[in-house]
Amino acid sequence: MDVIQTKSLTKTYDGKGGISDVTLSVGEGIVYGFLGPNGSGKSTFVRTLLGLLQPTGGEGYILGEPIGTTKSREQVGYLPELFRYPDWLTGKQLLESHAELCKIPARQRSRRIEEVIELVGMAGRETGRISGFSKGMSQRIGLACAILNDPKVIFLDEPTSALDPIGRKDVRDLMVYLRDQGKTVFLNSHLLYEVESVCDNVSIVHQGEIVAQGAWRELMMTEAQVEIVTAGTGAVQFPPFIKSWQKGNEEEGRTRWILQLEDERDIPKILHHLSSGKVDVHEVKPITPHLEDVFMHWVNRKKESAYVDNR
Amino acid sequence: MWTIGKLTVKEMISKRIFLITIIMTLIFLALYGTAIYFAGKEGAEAGDGGQGTEAFLMQQFVASQLLGVGLYFSSFITALLAIMSSVSAISGEVSSHQIDTWLMRPISRSQFVLGKFLGLAFLLIAYAISLFFSIIFLHQGIGAEWMALDIEPFQMIKAVSVFAIQPFVLVAFGVLLSTRMTTLNAGIVAIILYGAAFIGGFIEQFGAVVEKTSLVNIGIVMSLVFPIDSMYRKMTILLFDSADNPLSIAQGGMFTSISTPGNIMVWYAVLYGAAAVVFSIYSFKNRDV
Ligand SMILES: Nc1ncnc2c1ncn2[C@@H]1O[C@H](COP(=O)(O)OP(=O)(O)O)[C@@H](O)[C@H]1O
Ligand SMILES: [Mg+2]
């Protein structure tokens, strides 16, 4: 069963902004990236799924339960983008209140609370009042809150916005840990590198619409490039399926080339072609495309197709 | 629901304003006690001179006036506190986004609203009842014999119940406003209505004195719109109006009642509060936060 499923889910604010017509399904045990620049509708989408916003169209289900029902939120954790917790509570009291709301049996509460505090790296600091917490600490206690009830699906909305590089790595590790436990993590982010390092599947959103969906690896292959260093300084006969290439610098009798590929999987074929043409290859290095470029690629493609559709 | 209710109570208690309120209340009670003490002493000395109906009337009038002042002021503080604490109940949590993490839990919107209401109503009603009995005991105790009025325990119970309706209605109404308005707007609306109810009550009293039905009617309409002042007056009647005391009418005055709200008004106020709670639940059900 799909953990999250939506059909044309739409939430606009008086017809403007928000997010429109989202159809997606997220399977179990993966990290799903919801990727897009600020204002593209990511938070709106998640808040609609959690019943905080009333959808203006379409439908959505979490673990098979229609969104907006209390049942749909039973196995869910959430770290909001604008996290603010009652600052008169201590970190531990906050978790206790949430444990109560999640109906975690009283006997298990304190042990579970200790566990999550450990997991988010707040051990020893949980008895302080939240009013004295730094933003980073609040975000960590928020993460603890999000995973407290051992949820099947965890929504993280820009979870590293207040964290330093070490904190970011911690969050990444936490997401991987959760996935390895069979949980589904739904990650909202505008930071491409954050998505890249952990996400299995992504949706790319732009101005309230999904422009691309799929496995991260496949979406990334759009702009595959490879750098090849060949012996000699003369021209090289590349296979006919290479549409364009650039000659780089020449050094010590070797030449550097940058080849534009249709598909990363063509690399062995190129090497085969070169070696049968008696060209010595010293170096082959696939170039990971610039993430921003990949992003723009999909945005532009969507725009083009919309343009064609409109004609 | 209970978790939210408990949290609401804890939050109020943890705020600095709570401590300030308690201290100020104690200061008020101390002042009131002092005033009652000296008034009682003076009264007893002056009363030594004359016996008879006139002196008795005088004593009853002054004593009930003083008790009336104490209770009126108590009802005023309770009302202000009820308004101030309830108008931000929902709107405050929404604007600070704190509500997001509560509402994403498997609780319904109605449970959240009810929890908030119950927590606040519990606190304010507890406050009102303690204040009521503090005033009564100060008055009957420190005021010593001269001050003491003949009030039966059952009368007191009835009176305090009606006294507690006021914070109930105000909290319910404040929460209702806060499901729809910003804290500031809700506060302004609630205060103005409270003021209008006060003036309406005053007009009604005045109308009864000068026997002008139209004025009385204005007051009645006002107490239907916002049944707050009428509850205070009903309370004073329950407290002062003992059947075996033919002089009870004479005890009237600014802080007690001439035009008397009927029992039906009490039920109206209770229903009014309950309706406000139901409407808050309804109003918050499908709202974006
Ligand atoms: N409460 C609101 N009222 C009106 N417009 C809103 C509201 N919240 C968000 N928007 C608009 O909806 C769009 C999506 O916002 P948001 O979901 O916060 O995007 P993201 O999380 O991707 O940054 C933005 O254009 C924003 O201006
Ligand atoms: Mg956002």
Ligand 2 center to A296 CA (angstroms): 19
Model-level pTM?
A: 0.86
Atom of ligand 1 nearest to the CA of A14: 4
The whole domain housing B167 covers: 2-43+52-285
Domain A224-287 is of which CATH architecture? 2-Layer Sandwich (3.30)
| Model confidence pLDDT, tens digit, residues B76-109 | 999 999 999 999 999 999 999 999 999 999 999 9
**Count of alpha carbons within 13 Å of A33, Cβ hemisphere only?**
27
- Is the CB of residue A189 below 6 angstroms from any atom belonging to ligand 1? no
Q: Does A16 touch chain B (CB under 8 A)?
A: no
- Is the CB of residue A44 below 6 angstroms from any atom belonging to ligand 1? yes
Contact status, residue B95 vs residue B183, Cβ threshold 8 Å: yes
Whether A54 sits inside 8 A of B108 (CB atoms) is no
Ligand 2 center to A307 CA (angstroms): 28
Q: Does A102 touch chain B (CB under 8 A)?
A: yes
Q: Which CATH superfamily is domain A2-215 in?
A: P-loop containing nucleotide triphosphate hydrolases (3.40.50.300)
Size of interface A-B (CB pairs under 8 A): 62
Q: Does A111 touch chain B (CB under 8 A)?
A: no
Contact status, residue B190 vs residue B87, Cβ threshold 8 Å: yes
Contact status, residue A79 vs residue A156, Cβ threshold 8 Å: yes
Q: Would you give per-residue pLDDT tens digits along chain A (311 residues)?
A: 789 999 999 999 998 899 999 999 999 999 999 999 899 999 999 999 999 999 999 999 999 999 999 999 999 999 999 888 998 999 999 999 999 999 999 899 999 999 999 999 998 898 999 999 998 899 999 999 999 999 999 999 999 888 888 888 889 999 999 999 999 999 999 887 778 788 989 999 999 999 989 888 777 766 678 888 988 887 888 888 887 888 888 888 899 988 888 777 888 888 888 888 888 888 888 877 676 777 888 888 877 777 766 65
In DSSP notation, A13-24 reads: ETTEEEEEEEEE
Whether A84 sits inside 8 A of B97 (CB atoms) is yes
Segments of chain A assigned to CATH 3.40.50.300: 2-215
The residue in chain A having the minimum alpha-carbon distance to the alpha carbon of residue B284 is: A52
What is the pLDDT at residue B144? 61
The residue in chain A having the minimum alpha-carbon distance to the alpha carbon of residue B286 is: A54
User: Starting at the edge strand that comes first in sequence, how are the strands of the sheet with A209-215 ordered?
Assistant: A76-79, A153-157, A184-189, A31-35, A201-206, A209-215
Above 80 in pLDDT, residue B241?
no
Segments of chain A assigned to CATH 3.30.70.3100: 224-287
* Domain tally, chain B: 1
Please state, in angstroms and rounded to a whole number, the distance separating the CA atoms of residues B116 and B112. Answer: 6
